[in-house]
A and B are shown apart, each in its own frame.
Chain A
Amino acid sequence: MVGFLIFLAIIVFLVLTVVGMYNSLVQMRESVKNAWSQIDVQLKRRHDLIPNLVETAKGYMAHERGTLESVTKARQMAVDASTVKDKIAAENMLTSTLRSLFAVSENYPNLKADRQMIMLQEELTTTENKISFARQFYNDEANRLNVAVQSFPDNIIAAQFGFQKVEFFQVEDALDKKVPEVKF
């Protein structure tokens, strides 16, 4: 009798543990999804801003048609991308074309002084920052889920219920991140 009770207690304990682990995995997965949707919101915002930017810039820099076109093209690719991997690649591409656009615009003082351009630039700066903050947050959450999925004993349950590692949103070129200069 006592043996049976102990057995029962162990079973109940195990079931509760498994349920707890499962729930926390679900919670992490949802929070990763939520973090991703945060990035999505900001990316969408950037996509919406770019046509305005191109329109404004066109008036001042007719000679830079190539740069403007590459921005438009990169934006279209980013909008069309369907898988996460494609999306990340396309967005990185878009970031670098935008950067070259801003670099070129330095040569056009009239454009830089344009009221519309100043506002757009502030909007884009804040959106870029939001994207990078959202990415930071997404990576933190993804990291939490990835660690949980691979560590024992959660990995047994994760494998059982199909929880998988998610990909980090990585920035492609190393120059993208400003690393504080190290002096010795």
Chain B
Amino acid sequence: MPFSFVQIERDETQTIQWSFAVLILFYFFGASVLVFAVRGFILMHLLSNRELMTPGYRIHIFDWGILLWTFLGAGVAGFIHWNYSTDALIDKILWFMHGRVADPLKDDEKMFQNIVEEVSVATGGRYRIEPYIIPTSAMNAFAVQDFQGRSVIGITEGLLKRLNRGQLEAVIAHEAGHIASGDSLSTCVTSSIFNVFDNISDAAQMIINGAAYDRRGGGGAFFMLAILILVLSSILKSLGFLGSMFISRQREYRADAISVRLTRNPVALAEALYIISNRWKGVGMPGQSMEAIFIMSPRRNYLEDNEDWFSDLFTTHPPINRRIGILLDMAHTDKSVLDSALSEANARYTEPVSPTTPPDPRKGFLWMAMRAGQWVGPMGLDELRHQDWLTPTTMVRKMGAPVISQADEDNDLFPALPAKEELKKNQCPRCQVDLMEVPYEKVRVLKCPSCQGVLVKEMDVLSILGTREMTFSSQIAEMGDIMMKQPKPLQRSPYDAVYDEKSILCPWCLTSSPRMTRRFINPRYPIEIDKCRICARVWFDKDELEILQYLYEKDSPLPAGKA
């Protein structure tokens, strides 16, 4: 089958025309259902209040004039949507996933950049594709494109580190296939269609909530209408969702085909898919809700998936076994090649190994402790633990060690700390004083007046990072820079969460849940936070949140146009 770029180009044009038609149809269908509902509703209202009707006036639920107007309206709305919906969309997606441009000074990222260029040459140089890196150890890749002609291929660090050149080339060619055939574009459009219906149903929801809230008589009619709109827009939304998933599965096969056509290397693509499917694909990674754009769905394991109409309807990606099977058939080989590729990939990238520190007898240690701004000591373990001013957050320094840390972070001191009383709700898990609610960067957080630690809802952390009202003192900046330069020696891989006797209670859930786990907020920033797995609240000790904000803002300046 000659699958030339002329053919692909024709497909792209068709895809674009189709998605435009679908867009208009969506607006038309949505709008006419709404118009129909509103008119039916008014009619019902009039029928039940006969005195409102003037004799001789007739009202129809359906008439051609209205249909025409609805169609025109849908056309205009579709046109506006088409032109503006994808404005800065790529920046938003990349910002959301913490993407950054590949750095040509690093060997592997330079290779990635080169491969992206190679693939763009294979398309006759029609697409200038920008290479982006997503800093996570998950393994996945994606492509996005907008109507301004900008296209981006992103790959996660985890994948980049594990694939060899041929496999990487196959993956990138697959993504370029999505771009060349216009898939990335229509995905953008469909996802923005969902947004519209989302907004409509949100608005209806708000009206319903409002109406339920005032419970004044007479609002009933409006209330009913809002419920109707909510139901209809939800139905339309799910229909569109199913449709887009169905299309998406077919596209993955086609993108695989384009990849093979470009690289003539089906085995490399099969190996890459196999490697991805055997590792963490990125569940929980920011951006997993946009699963349709990835080479393999980040959500779950498709190895056991069936190929029938039911799974066709509910998944965005075809079963991985089938994809791999097709590719291996092309090369007349079988699965035996895959396992060696997998073990090679695992050997290529080793997780950061924890340096082993020999356990010292803690008897002989002496500590200096910070009391009201003064260093006191040195004191031995027994002496120090009986000081009544010693709290878990007291700063201590082990003699002979350069590190200053909190008392409960010191592994030798910790087991000797005084046992705590039972924590009460909304008390600081470290100082056991009541937390105070304070506004912080447009959200409300609970802050400890004593140790300055804060409890933040996890979803608010992103919004705090996104808000840039604060400026940071030079002290915070200095601490942040030092932390990035000399991260604490990793006791473990930066992706694990630790749960042990040092874990603190969640001030929100208290004993009704497991204790909070300690983990790095993000593999990129070595800031150790405590996170509750039940209510998804995060505890930051003093300055930790500011340092995180500082590092984040330094790392990712706002995309142009958002400042």
Once bound together, how far apart are the Cα atoms of A37 and B459, in whole Å?
52
Q: Which residue of A lies closest to B113 (CB)?
A: A126
B-chain residues with CB within 8 Å of residue A125 when the two chains form the complex: 114, 165
Q: Which residue of B lies closest to A131 (CB)?
A: B121
Q: How many A-B residue pairs have CB under 8 A?
A: 62
State the majority secondary structure of interface residues on A.
helix
Contact partner of A137 among B117, B124, B332, CB < 8 A? B124
Cβ contacts A to B, 28 pairs, < 8 Å: A38-B121, A38-B124, A42-B121, A122-B110, A122-B111, A122-B114, A125-B165, A126-B114, A126-B118, A130-B117, A134-B122, A136-B262, A137-B122, A140-B6, A141-B124, A143-B4, A144-B4, A144-B6, A180-B266, A180-B267, A180-B330, A180-B331, A180-B332, A180-B333, A181-B332, A181-B333, A182-B332, A183-B333
Contact indicator B107/A126 (Cβ below 8 Å): no
Once bound together, how far apart are the Cα atoms of A143 and B330, in whole Å?
24
A-chain residues with CB within 8 Å of residue B115 when the two chains form the complex: 126, 129
Q: How near does chain A come to B240, taking the closest CB pair, in angstroms?
A: 36
Contact indicator A137/B111 (Cβ below 8 Å): no
Once bound together, how far apart are the Cα atoms of A134 and B120, in whole Å?
9
Contact indicator B118/A140 (Cβ below 8 Å): no
CB interface residues, B 14-49, toward A, < 8 Å: none
A133 within 8 A of B: yes
Interface residues on B, range: 20 to 34
Q: How near does chain B come to A30, taking the closest CB pair, in angstroms?
A: 12
Contact indicator A118/B262 (Cβ below 8 Å): no
A35 within 8 A of B: yes
B243 within 8 A of A: no
- Knowing A137-B5, A144-B4 are in contact, say whether A122-B124 is a contact too (CB < 8 A): no
Contact indicator A140/B5 (Cβ below 8 Å): yes
* Interface bits A146-182 vs B (CB < 8 Å: 1, else 0): 0000000000000000000000000000000110111
* Interface bits B118-130 vs A (CB < 8 Å: 1, else 0): 1101111100000
Q: Which residue of A lies closest to B123 (CB)?
A: A137
B-chain residues with CB within 8 Å of residue A123 when the two chains form the complex: 114
Contact indicator A134/B121 (Cβ below 8 Å): yes
Q: Which residue of A lies closest to B108 (CB)?
A: A122
Q: How near does chain B come to A51, taking the closest CB pair, in angstroms?
A: 20
Residue from A140, A141, A177 whose CB has the most chain B CB atoms within 10 Å: A140
Contact partner of A130 among B4, B118, B330, B331, CB < 8 A? B118
* Interface bits A29-68 vs B (CB < 8 Å: 1, else 0): 0010011001000100000000000000000000000000
B-chain residues with CB within 8 Å of residue A133 when the two chains form the complex: 118-119, 121-122, 262
Q: Which residue of A lies closest to B111 (CB)?
A: A122
B-chain residues with CB within 8 Å of residue A118 when the two chains form the complex: 107
A-chain residues with CB within 8 Å of residue B264 when the two chains form the complex: 177-178
CB interface residues, B 248-289, toward A, < 8 Å: 262, 264, 266-267
Nearest 6 pairs of A and B residues by beta carbon = A133-B122, A126-B114, A180-B331, A129-B118, A130-B121, A133-B121
A-chain residues with CB within 8 Å of residue B107 when the two chains form the complex: 118-119, 122
* Interface bits B145-182 vs A (CB < 8 Å: 1, else 0): 00000000000000000000100010000000000000
Once bound together, how far apart are the Cα atoms of A34 and B333, in whole Å?
38
Q: Which residue of B lies closest to A37 (CB)?
A: B125
A-chain residues with CB within 8 Å of residue B266 when the two chains form the complex: 180
Once bound together, how far apart are the Cα atoms of A178 and B166, in whole Å?
13
Q: How near does chain B come to A128, taking the closest CB pair, in angstroms?
A: 9
Q: How near does chain A come to B170, taking the closest CB pair, in angstroms?
A: 12
